[in-house]
């Protein structure tokens, strides 16, 4: 892999190149940070209004009890999965190109899961009791939680996923913190030394570090697949036509990885420019990422097709009515935006020339994210609106409170991400050195 | 199965929840009436055996005796003054369950075990009232505490029949 | 690696020199107790570590963590079902709704497995020792360092290291 | 028809029920039923919905629910309180008082309800009620099971009356008008001013609503005392069916009586424009009788054929329905009389014979032409005539969609028809136990003529200003009378023009009595001390007379009644007991009766002279304004539970609509919810359009009842429109009643939109087979018992408790009237959410009535289906709740624990029946708040927990009543007997369609209903052929409708023969 990449830097300039970016960040960093903090405040106000006045302020009604807030929840959990995919699964596959973007992907995972973790609290009717009743704590009522409910699985799955990706991300950060410690003095040195557990880089530590990192990756891989399956069971466990299908777990996992990769690309591109990391995150790495996005896009396209076929083939008139209405009914706009963004635009990545053109790729990846948001919205709303009894059919429109909270969630995510990029290296220095040309005296020997 | 919550509920005067001992407009002493004079609980709280609400006695029940007994005590004077002005006497409530739970006195007072004996006495939940001067809340009256009592076995399991519990512990027994 | 050891420190710039040095001084008694430092985990170094220290015991930590996780997950569900078996959606409590409890078994297994692995990495690497001794400022940058205890800085060990292309050798 | 022979059965099976071009019924309905423009309801509905901008519809229509009026102060206050509360770690327990009685009444045990019997005062039908009071506060009105008129049931208006008692907008004090403003005034001043006025003049009049008790007698005594003539008492009801029938019988038999009808003994009922289920003479009694009439046992069941122009709730429940041109009811009646008269086996003699002969001869030519215009061939009439002659049958004619100039003529032809059928004294009783007419026909016209001369007018419990067409000028007349005293239980339009607006007692606070059937007396007694500073209307008159020194010898109205009832004791023959004991016994039981007998039927007179002229059939669009079955003539519009129950046919709440036949709408290029301007000779009205299959193309139906703009109640204030402004001053020549139907109208489309707050947004069955099931008579004969609980199940059998509570709803009997919705909302403290929230789809009723159109657009089959929580054994909602807020009770109930619910709303998504309701807001009770959600009178039931926002709620099968019954049973040591506990909906259902009981007890009615051959489970697939549908195993089962005429049932619906 390293010979394919045209490296113009050696491992010596890695530490220097990355850490200098942190000293004085590009002015656009402050613009981005202020915008995201503003969005965060808007979202916070909308949530405060919703808590004060009740769920009536949202556009939800009977029969559409879930809407934009749950779409955001699944969207953010979905984005989180690409981070673990890149850092864990590709680590097991020994894919070299992951080393340059795995730190930013893991950061995106952690912050996306934190954002997703907020939404169960936002969309719930009584958040002041929901917070502690969802946990199996011994209580004076002697009543426990219902372990057979998919929402209970959600609580455990997402908290485990947050913990594991947090640990995974922090352990990856330890060697880099040590290298930062060696470059600063004063109180910063003490802080970094404490944060890096006093890492000295001795072979003993590297030996156990690599072993542990391997096991963490091994544990995180099934976790990725299980968490989004559990999120898909939130829908598949009910009898709703359009939800009650067994294809949901793989369909959601593929969708998650697609939206994750697209989000990684949309994040890494501007951050790379903002922190001047072009030397380290090479075009070839991003190229592999786009190829992965293309792959998952085809899987998702297959999933859409097979879902329609199964609905028609099952002969169940409720299922088939729902899918017909998705394509031609009042919510067809969301459906066709979804299909266009997720299946048709990414096909542009087949041509190498288009993949090289960063402007096109950036737009396509942005559209993929839009498409994925619409996919969740389409799944949730279009099958809730019209289900079994024709008399209970309804109509749903989000209100500005729900849109405000969605904007707030993007604000919350980017605020955390930008603060992280400001204080910690965006690229994992120790792993980057692995894929750069080795410092050998005799050039010929290296492969 | 033991849970830390159980410890909190033991009925031996756990300080956390029970022990609410408000003061009353006049020092009505249960010790004197129920203890020394051995008056029947349901003479005053006559709703216990026929209504979900046990009921605080109306003023004419008190005046039944106190029109003649111990009329010079100032507490009784205060009582009499209320009675003359036909104005109800505002006692302070001691035992209070939240609105979303329904506790029917009638069923508990009339509850029989499988030999037909009365299962509960007022003291089981209200504590030794006959020893209290002014009433205080003796039991935690928390859900866990009720459940422990409800789920005790009434008839042990026989090869043909499952064990029956003293009372159902389904949710809509008390919450509806 | 306590700070009060005496010995010499040699820093190397090139990986191949460094590997050959380590291989050469492997069995020599005078180099006993030497410590190796590297900026990153090149797999050549990892192979050296593998045969010198054997497979890392972190895997036992993971196994124990995962097993306790599984039992904790299933146990929690089944015990609480035993305490108050509530029938929900036609599913009798207890072992009949076991399929739903696989998820908790799996999740808590991954959780405790990951935590145990991290503990293993820290414990085996004797890590959180705040008073660790930074031998050479460029270990975490791009230099490979070897520290040989109780040896004079001008002895033939230092000479041997120089021959293998050590960039600088100095006593501590 | 007798039991069909085998060849008849085969003939019926081979005959394709519908002349469909080809056999493939699989495709949706519109392909196989030919129609001019649109064949099937599904197609036309979708067509008319397309292009309608769903979210932009109408400026007023944009749901304001979203602008929850966030005012900064309110938000900051709430937010700081929330943060402060959470900061205060341990909150000391608030000290609460326990205040006992001083002298506890012997029969009052706190916590145990006491019941009082009384009579409902919402309309003049006089149903007997039992009022449940807790701690001296009425909580629920229920029908008195022993009362012969309503036999335990009550209509929606009766149930909702309890909200009127606690309505915060009732007048708090007497008011006197100074110029444009009404100011509070003391009762003493009222009495002195009016006393002086009465002393000075004898030109005094009393205008009051209909009543059959001693009330009118009292008013006559008051008038006589003040020297006013007897004719100064004007009694008038907007429902002019009373006066039409009374006038017709006065003409025919010489005495203004109303026949008491007993449909249940008949086999065939033919209705012409009748709406006895909605608003007729006594809707609850009629519904009870119709339900018994249609009960199917051992092959026999009654059939109901209806000829009507509007799709009324009664017509929707007919087995065969003919759509006739507007205003042609009289022609249809005459054609039917002709077919009956010419039928060989008709038995008629005497005056009826001569009348029929002369009538048919005079209208020979018109009737011959009528067949063509009505598009109903003569053979159809003859077939119906033969069917009527052969089986026990009767005719019911006239209704609120036929209050035109010919209303009384139609009644006369109805009398003639029934004479031909010999229905009198078999099903229509006028000689023994006939119904007294609560009003004197023609009083309104007399009032309009004589009122200007009056000095003082008392308007008592009536609202002529709103319920009469504006062209009659009643408001103008009231303004001209110097002193108008309006004594109403709830403020209405008369208060706008009256000099005094005095708060009268609510029915639950007043004394009174009713004599609905001659000789049968029903007592009304107060069940609570007056909640506001109101007085009994009669007591006010007595006080006024006292201050004017012309007082009557009664201390109050109770004394008057006490004296009058002595005559009732004599009459009823219970002389053995002391009178005071008799009075107390009647107070406890509620009624006493000994039917009087008279020989009126014999004095039949020839009334053909009145039927000489027939109005020619006018073509072109005609407007009719029928009465609304929920708020009658507008008297119930201030009760939020009625506004939100939704009309039976259009499910529209809070608004008024103009219903037009979908084909006519397409011809005019209109779309649903588009506002049109109806203009008649008398005026114009802008009203939104509602496409309603089953209407005649030339008729526009705009119901009355809503449209109060008097700003007396924020509930009824500009909710809906009042179409009465469109009717010119015209009256029925015989009964002098105002004409409120069949006036030519022009329709002009406007560009405005107004979104009607309909509860149901989709109107056809969308080709789904296990929701509404129908079975016809032949297949019902061969159908076997059902075992609905035999469903394959992976889990072991659930451990069941002592009982398994279940419910069975008979769709054949359900008439869709909505009384159960009102009763359930009152019993379970269900809040009403206002118009905008209903548009958003957030209505909170625990039971909803789904109405499906099916088949041909011009003559659709209408099916009603009440859907409440099905209490499934394998409930999809229970498995998904993360906090055990909804669990399954071993006794078959799905228990919803409100305090445990955190509001994830997953259970509502998982419910395939969508019966769960979520509290989007916290509702303020007992006040008229700024937001529509905070306008709920405090008529609350202390036995049911009130839910805060963020909590899910649903039908609990009245678990509170169950719990009390089980405590009772445990106390007496036996099981709860079948029928001992009734759910609120079952108790009030006027047609006995709902049955509740213990499914473990094989003999209970609900178990038998669950094994009935017609039984099926909602969304339960087709168990006979191995498809079990969703396998949720509901505790509620449905009984399918019976197609008595095998009408229009496509192939895939018919039960399989093999």
Q: Is the pLDDT score of D1057 beyond 60?
A: no
D95 is a domain residue: no
pLDDT of res. B142:
83
Using a CB–CB cutoff of 8 Å, tell me whether A390 touches chain B.
no
Integer Cα distance of D1016 and D1021 in angstroms:
9
Q: Which of D400, D434, D468 is the last residue of a domain?
A: D434
Asked if D879 and C87 come within 8 Å (Cβ–Cβ), the reply is no
Sequence-ordered strand ranges (E) for D754-898:
774-776, 805-810, 848-854, 861-867, 886-888, 894-896
* Same-domain status, C118 and C143: no
| Residue C47 lies inside a defined structural domain of this protein | no
- Angle among Cα D805, D810, D815 to the nearest 5 degrees reads 130
Residues 420-439 of A with CB under 8 A from B: none
Q: What is the pLDDT of residue D15?
A: 41
Nearest-by-CA chain A residue for B170: A143
3-class DSSP string for D591-657: EEECCCECCCHHHCCCCHHHHCCCCCCCCCCEEECCCECCCECCCCCCCHHHHCCCCCCCCECCCCC
List CB contacts of B46: < 8 A, sequence separation 6 or more.
B55, B57, B61, D109
Q: Which of A241-255, D4-18, D799-813, D949-963 has the lowest mean pLDDT?
A: D4-18
Chains that touch C (3 or more CB pairs under 8 A): A, B, D
Mean pLDDT value of segment D686-691: 94
In chain C, residues with a C-beta closer than 8 Å to the C-beta of A445 are: 16
* Nearest CA-CA distance, residue C170 and chain A, Å: 18
**Chain B residues in contact with A141 (beta carbon < 8 A):** 5, 142-144, 147
pLDDT exceeds 70 at position D1050: no
CATH of the domain at D938: 3.30.70.20
Higher pLDDT, D815 or B164: D815
The predicted pLDDT at position A160 comes to 95
Token pair in block for residue D146: 């022993």
Q: What is the pLDDT of residue A3?
A: 55
The pLDDT of residue D483 is 93
Element containing residue D983 per DSSP (H, E)? none
For D782-788, what is the mean pLDDT? 88
CATH of the domain at D350: 3.40.228.10
**Percentage, residues of chain D above pLDDT 70:** 90
Answer whether C98 touches D (CB < 8 Å).
no
Element (H, E) at D954: none
Mean pLDDT of D562-589: 86
pLDDT tens digits for range C63-119: 999 999 999 999 999 988 888 888 888 888 888 889 999 999 999 999 999 999 999
Using 50, 70 and 90 to split pLDDT, how confident is the model at D753?
Answer: very high
- Cβ of C84 within 8 Å of Cβ of B3? The answer is no
Of A203, A441, A445, the CB nearest to C45: A203
Does one domain contain both D788 and D911? yes
Measured between CB atoms, does D795 come within 8 Å of chain C? yes
The number of domains in chain D is: 4
* Residue D683 clears pLDDT 60, i.e. is over it: yes
Helix, strand and coil content of chain D, in percent to the nearest 5, comes to 30, 20, 50
Shared-domain flag, residues C99 and C66: yes
Mark whether D855 and D938 lie in a shared domain.
yes
CA angle, residues A275, A281, A283, in degrees to nearest 5: 120
CB D140 within 8 A of CB D162: yes
Residue D543 belongs to a domain: yes
Q: Structure pTM?
A: 0.89
Mean pLDDT of chain D: 86
Predicted local confidence at residue A26, as pLDDT = 83
Which residues does A194 contact at the CB level (< 8 Å), separation at least 6? C130
Alpha helices, H only, D281-406: 283-294, 313-316, 329-341, 350-362, 364-374, 378-390
For residue C79, the enclosing domain spans 59-124
Superfamily of domain A34-271+281-415: Formate dehydrogenase/DMSO reductase domain (1.20.1630.10)
The pLDDT assigned to D21 comes to: 27
Chain C residue nearest residue B147, CA to CA: C84
Task: Kindly tell me the sign of the dihedral angle through the C-alpha atoms of A404, A406, A411, A412.
Answer: positive
* Burial label, C29 (beta-carbon count in 10 A; 0-12, 13-18, 19+): exposed
CATH of the domain at C24: 3.30.70
Structural domain boundaries in chain A: 34-271+281-415
User: Which backbone phi and psi does A89 adopt, to 5 degrees?
Assistant: -65, -45
For residue B38, give its domain range: 19-56+91-139
Residue C129 domain-assigned?
no
Residues C27 and C72 reside in one and the same domain: no
Subunits with at least 3 CB pairs below 8 A relative to chain B? A, C, D
B26 located within any domain:
yes
Q: What is the pLDDT of residues B42-65, one digit of tens each?
A: 899 988 988 999 889 999 888 888
Same domain, C63 and C120: yes
Interface with chain B: mutation pick from C80, C83, C92, highest number of B CBs within 10 Å: C83
State mean pLDDT over B80-101: 88
D1002 shares a domain with D854: yes
**Which chain A residues contact residue B6 at CB under 8 A?**
142
Give residue-wise pLDDT tens across range D895-926: 999 999 999 999 999 999 999 999 999 898 88
DSSP class of residue D40 equals B
If residue C68 lies in a helix (H) or strand (E), which one and from where to where? helix C58-83
Instruction: Let me know whether C22 and C71 are in one domain.
Output: no
Domain end position, chosen among D434, D460, D494: D434
Dig out the tokens for A109 from the structure: 């995972």
Listed range (A8-12, D747-751, D1015-1019) with the worst mean pLDDT:
A8-12
Query: C85: which chain B residues are within 8 Å (Cβ-Cβ)?
Result: none
B91 pLDDT exceeds 70?
A: yes
D397 pLDDT tier (thresholds 50, 70, 90): very high
Task: Give a yes or no: residue C92 inside a domain.
Answer: yes
d(CA D868, CA D845): 9
Q: Do C90 and D880 touch (CB under 8 A)?
A: no
**Rounded Cα gap, residues C158 and C165, in angstroms:** 11
**Residue D787, domain extent:** 780-792+802-1050
Q: Does A11 touch chain C (CB under 8 A)?
A: yes
Query: How far is A328 from chain D, CA to nearest CA, in Å?
Result: 12
D291 with D198, same domain: the answer is no
Tell me which of D543, D577, D593 is where a domain ends.
D593
Say how far apart CA C31 and CA C149 lie, in whole Å. 8
Q: Is D303 helix (H, G, I), strand (E, B) or coil?
A: strand
CA distance D713 to D967: 42
Whether pLDDT at D886 is above 60: yes
Q: Quick one: chain B helix, strand, coil %, rounded to 5?
A: 35, 5, 60
Q: How sure is the predictor about D1047, in pLDDT bands with cuts at 50, 70 and 90?
A: low
Q: Does B169 touch chain A (CB under 8 A)?
A: no
- Pair C151, C108 in one domain: no
Average pLDDT over residues A37-58: 93
- The pLDDT of residue D1051 is 42
Would you place residue D20 in the very low, low, confident or very high pLDDT band (cuts 50, 70, 90)? very low
Structural domain count of chain B: 1
What are the b/e assignments for A175-204, b being 16+ CB within 10 Å? bbbbbbbbeeeeeeeeebbebbbbbbbbbb
Number of domains present in the structure of chain C: 2
d(CA D21, CA A373): 48
Q: Say yes or no: D289 and D420 in one domain.
A: yes
pLDDT at residue number C16? 87
pLDDT of res. D920:
93
pLDDT of the residue at B18 = 62
Q: Is residue C54 part of a domain?
A: no
Q: What number of other Cβ atoms are within 10 A of residue D973's Cβ?
A: 8
Instruction: Based on the fold, state whether residues C27 and C77 are members of the same structural domain.
Output: no
pLDDT of res. D93: 61
């Amino acid at each position: 892999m390293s010979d394919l990449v045209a490296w113009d830097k050696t491992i010596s300039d890695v530490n220097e190149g990355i850490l200098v970016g942190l000293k004085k960040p590009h002015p656009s960093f402050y613009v981005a940070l202020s915008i995201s903090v503003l969005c965060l405040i808007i979202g916070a106000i909308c949530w405060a209004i919703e808590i004060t006045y009740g769920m009536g302020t949202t556009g939800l009604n009977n029969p559409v009890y879930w809407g934009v807030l749950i779409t955001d929840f699944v969207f953010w959990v979905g984005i989180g999965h690409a981070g673990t995919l890149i850092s864990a699964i590709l680590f097991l596959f020994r894919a070299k190109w992951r080393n340059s973007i795995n730190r930013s992907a893991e950061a995106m995972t952690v912050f996306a899961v934190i954002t997703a973790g907020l939404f169960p609290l936002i969309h719930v009717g009584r958040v002041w009791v929901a917070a502690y009743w969802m946990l199996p704590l011994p209580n004076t009522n002697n009543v426990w939680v219902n372990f057979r409910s998919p929402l209970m699985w959600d609580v455990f799955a997402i908290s485990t996923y947050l913990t594991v990706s947090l640990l995974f991300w922090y352990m990856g950060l330890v060697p880099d913190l040590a290298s930062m410690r060696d470059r600063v003095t004063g109180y910063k040195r003490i802080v970094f030394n404490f944060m890096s557990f006093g890492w000295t880089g001795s072979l003993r530590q590297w030996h156990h570090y690599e072993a542990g990192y391997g096991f963490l990756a091994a544990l995180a891989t099934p976790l990725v697949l299980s968490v989004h399956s559990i999120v898909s069971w939130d829908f598949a466990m009910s009898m709703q036509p359009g939800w009650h299908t067994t294809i949901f777990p793989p369909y959601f996992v593929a969708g998650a990885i697609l939206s994750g990769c697209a989000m990684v690309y949309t994040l890494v591109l501007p951050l790379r420019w903002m922190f001047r990391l072009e030397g380290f995150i090479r075009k070839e790495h991003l190229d592999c990422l786009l190829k992965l996005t293309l792959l998952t896009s085809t899987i998702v396209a297959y999933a859409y097709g097979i879902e329609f076929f199964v609905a028609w083939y099952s002969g169940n008139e409720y299922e088939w009515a729902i899918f017909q209405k998705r394509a031609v009914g009042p919510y067809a706009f969301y459906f066709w935006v979804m299909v266009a963004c997720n299946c048709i635009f990414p096909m542009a990545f087949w041509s190498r020339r288009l993949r090289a053109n960063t402007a096109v790729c950036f737009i396509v990846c942005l559209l993929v994210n839009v498409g994925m948001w619409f996919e969740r919205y389409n799944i949730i709303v279009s099958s809730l609106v019209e289900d079994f009894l024709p008399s209970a059919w309804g109509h749903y429109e989000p209100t500005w409170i729900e849109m405000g909270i969605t904007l707030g969630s993007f604000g919350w995510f980017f605020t955390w991400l930008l603060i992280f990029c400001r204080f910690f290296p965006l690229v994992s220095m120790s792993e980057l050195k692995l894929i750069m040309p080795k410092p050998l005296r005799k050039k010929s020997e290296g492969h | 199965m033991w849970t830390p919550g159980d410890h909190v509920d033991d009925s031996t005067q756990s300080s956390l929840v029970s022990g609410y001992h408000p003061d009353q407009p006049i020092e009505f002493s249960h010790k004197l009436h129920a203890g020394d004079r051995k008056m029947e609980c349901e003479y005053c709280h006559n709703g216990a055996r026929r209504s979900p609400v046990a009921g605080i006695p109306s003023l004419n029940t008190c005046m039944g005796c106190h029109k003649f007994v111990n009329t010079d005590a100032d507490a009784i004077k205060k009582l009499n003054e209320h009675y003359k002005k036909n104005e109800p006497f505002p006692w302070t409530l001691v035992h209070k369950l939240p609105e979303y739970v329904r506790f029917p006195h009638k069923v508990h007072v009339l509850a029989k075990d499988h030999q037909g004996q009365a299962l509960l006495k007022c003291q089981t939940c209200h504590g030794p009232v006959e020893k209290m001067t002014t009433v205080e809340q003796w039991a935690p009256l928390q859900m866990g505490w009720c459940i422990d009592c409800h789920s005790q076995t009434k008839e042990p399991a026989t090869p043909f029949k499952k064990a029956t519990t003293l009372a159902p512990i389904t949710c809509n027994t008390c919450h509806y | 690696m306590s700070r009060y050891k005496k010995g010499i420190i040699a820093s190397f710039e090139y990986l191949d020199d460094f590997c050959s040095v380590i291989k050469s001084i492997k069995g020599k008694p005078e180099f006993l107790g030497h410590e190796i430092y590297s900026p990153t985990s090149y797999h050549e170094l990892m192979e050296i570590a593998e045969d010198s220290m054997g497979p890392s015991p972190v895997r036992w930590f993971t196994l124990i963590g995962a097993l306790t996780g599984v039992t904790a997950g299933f146990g929690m569900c089944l015990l609480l079902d035993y305490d108050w078996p509530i029938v929900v959606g036609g599913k009798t409590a207890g072992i009949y709704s076991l399929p739903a409890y696989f998820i908790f078994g799996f999740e808590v297994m991954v959780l405790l497995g990951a935590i145990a692995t991290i503990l293993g990495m820290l414990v085996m690497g004797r890590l959180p020792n705040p008073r660790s001794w930074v031998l050479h400022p460029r270990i975490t940058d791009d230099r490979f360092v070897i520290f040989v205890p109780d040896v004079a800085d001008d002895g033939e060990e230092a000479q041997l290291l120089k021959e293998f292309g050590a960039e600088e050798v100095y006593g501590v | 028809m007798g039991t069909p022979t085998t060849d008849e059965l085969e003939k019926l099976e081979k005959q394709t029920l519908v002349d469909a071009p080809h056999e493939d019924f699989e495709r949706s309905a519109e392909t196989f039923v030919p129609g001019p423009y649109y064949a099937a309801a599904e197609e036309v509905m979708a067509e008319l919905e397309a292009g309608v901008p769903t979210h932009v519809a109408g400026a007023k229509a944009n749901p304001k629910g979203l602008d929850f009026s966030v005012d900064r102060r309110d938000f900051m206050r709430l937010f700081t309180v929330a943060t402060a509360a959470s900061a205060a770690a341990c909150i000391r327990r608030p000290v609460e008082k326990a205040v006992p009685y001083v002298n506890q009444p012997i029969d009052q045990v706190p916590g145990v309800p006491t019941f009082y019997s009384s009579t409902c005062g919402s309309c003049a039908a006089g149903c007997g009620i039992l009022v449940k009071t807790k701690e001296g506060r009425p909580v629920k009105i229920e029908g008195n099971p022993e009362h012969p008129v309503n036999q335990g049931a009550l209509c929606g208006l009766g149930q909702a009356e309890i909200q009127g008692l606690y309505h915060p907008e009732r007048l708090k004090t007497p008011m006197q008008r100074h110029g444009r403003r009404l100011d509070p005034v003391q009762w003493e001043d009222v009495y002195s001013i009016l006393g002086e006025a009465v002393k000075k003049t004898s030109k005094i009049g009393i205008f009051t609503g209909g009543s059959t008790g001693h009330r009118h007698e009292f008013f006559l005594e008051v008038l006589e005392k003040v020297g006013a003539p007897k004719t100064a008492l004007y009694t008038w009801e907007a429902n002019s069916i009373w006066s039409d029938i009374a006038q017709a019988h006065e003409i025919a038999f010489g005495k203004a009586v109303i026949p008491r009808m007993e449909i249940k003994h008949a086999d065939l009922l033919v209705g012409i424009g009748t709406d006895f289920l909605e608003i007729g003479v006594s809707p609850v009694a009629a519904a009870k009788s119709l339900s018994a009439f249609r009960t199917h046992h051992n092959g026999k069941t009654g059939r109901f054929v209806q000829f009507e122009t509007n799709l009324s709730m009664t017509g929707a429940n007919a087995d065969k329905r003919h759509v006739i041109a507007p205003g042609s009811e009289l022609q249809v009646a005459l054609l039917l009389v002709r077919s009956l008269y010419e039928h060989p086996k008709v038995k008629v003699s005497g005056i009826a014979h001569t009348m029929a002969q002369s009538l048919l001869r005079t209208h020979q030519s018109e009737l011959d032409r009528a067949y063509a215009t009505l598009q109903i061939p003569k053979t159809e009439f003859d077939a119906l005539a033969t069917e009527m002659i052969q089986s026990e049958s009767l005719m019911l004619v006239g209704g609120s969609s036929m209050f035109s100039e010919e209303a009384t003529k139609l009644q006369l032809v109805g009398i003639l028809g029934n004479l031909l059928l010999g229905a009198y004294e078999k099903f229509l009783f006028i000689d023994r136990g006939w119904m007294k007419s609560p009003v004197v026909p023609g009083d309104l016209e007399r009032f309009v003529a004589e009122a200007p001369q009056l000095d003082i007018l008392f308007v008592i419990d009536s609202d002529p200003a709103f319920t009469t067409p504006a062209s009659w000028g009643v408001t103008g007349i009231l303004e001209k009378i110097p002193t108008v005293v309006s004594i109403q239980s709830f403020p209405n339009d008369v208060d706008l023009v009256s000099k005094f607006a005095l708060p009268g007692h609510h029915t639950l606070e007043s004394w009174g009595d009713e004599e609905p059937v001659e000789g049968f007396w029903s007592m009304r007694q107060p069940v609570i001390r007056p909640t506001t500073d109101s007085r009994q209307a009669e007591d006010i008159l007595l006080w006024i007379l006292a201050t004017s020194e012309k007082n009557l010898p009664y201390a109050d109205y109770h004394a008057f009644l006490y004296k009058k009832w002595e005559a009732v004791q004599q009459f009823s023959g219970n002389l053995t007991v002391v009178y005071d004991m008799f009075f107390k016994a009647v107070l406890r039981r509620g009624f006493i009766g000994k039917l009087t007998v008279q020989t009126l039927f014999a004095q039949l007179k020839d009334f053909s002279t009145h039927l000489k002229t027939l109005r020619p059939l006018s073509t072109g669009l005609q407007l009719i304004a029928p009465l609304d079955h929920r708020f009658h003539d507008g008297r119930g519009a201030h009760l939020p539970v009625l506004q939100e129950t939704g009309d039976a046919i259009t499910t529209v709440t809070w608004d008024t609509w103009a219903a037009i036949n979908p084909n006519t709408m397409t011809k005019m290029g209109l779309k649903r919810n588009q506002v049109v301007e109806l203009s008649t000779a008398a005026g114009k009205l802008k009203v939104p359009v509602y496409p309603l299959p089953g209407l005649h193309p030339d008729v526009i139906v705009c119901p009355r009842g809503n449209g109060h703009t008097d700003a007396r109640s924020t509930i009824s204030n500009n909710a809906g429109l009042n179409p009465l402004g469109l009717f010119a001053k015209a009256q029925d020549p015989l009964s002098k009643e105002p004409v409120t139907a069949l006036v030519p109208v022009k329709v002009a489309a406007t560009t405005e939109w107004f979104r009607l707050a309909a509860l149901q947004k989709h109107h056809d069955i969308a080709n789904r087979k296990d929701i509404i099931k129908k079975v016809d008579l032949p297949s019902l004969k061969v159908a076997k018992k059902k075992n609905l609980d035999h469903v394959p199940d992976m889990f072991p059998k659930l451990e069941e408790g002592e009982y398994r509570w279940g419910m069975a709803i008979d769709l054949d009997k359900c008439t869709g009237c909505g009384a159960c919705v009102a009763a359930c909302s009152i019993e379970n403290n269900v809040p009403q959410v206002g118009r905008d929230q209903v548009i958003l789809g957030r209505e909170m009723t625990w039971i909803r009535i789904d109405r499906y159109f099916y088949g041909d657009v011009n003559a659709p089959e209408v099916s009603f289906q009440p859907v409440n929580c099905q209490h499934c054994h394998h409930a999809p909602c229970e498995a998904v709740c993360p906090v055990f807020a909804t669990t399954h009770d071993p006794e078959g109930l799905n228990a919803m624990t409100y305090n445990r619910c955190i509001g994830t709303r997953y259970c509502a998504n998982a419910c395939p029946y969508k019966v769960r309701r979520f509290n989007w807001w916290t509702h303020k009770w007992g006040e008229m708040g700024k937001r529509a959600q905070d306008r709920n009178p405090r008529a609350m039931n202390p036995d049911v927990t009130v839910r805060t926002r963020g909590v899910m709620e649903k039908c609990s099968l009245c678990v509170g009543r169950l719990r009390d019954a089980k405590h009772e049973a445990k106390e007496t040591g036996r099981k709860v007997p079948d029928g001992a506990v009734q759910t609120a909906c079952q108790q009030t259902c006027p047609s006995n369609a709902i049955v509740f009981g213990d499914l473990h007890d094989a003999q209970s009615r609900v178990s038998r209903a669950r094994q009935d051959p017609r039984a099926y489970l909602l969304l339960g697939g087709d168990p006979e052929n191995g498809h079990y549908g969703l396998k949720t195993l509901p505790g509620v089962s449905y009984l399918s409708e019976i197609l008595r005429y095998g009408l229009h049932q496509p192939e895939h619906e018919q039960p399989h023969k093999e």
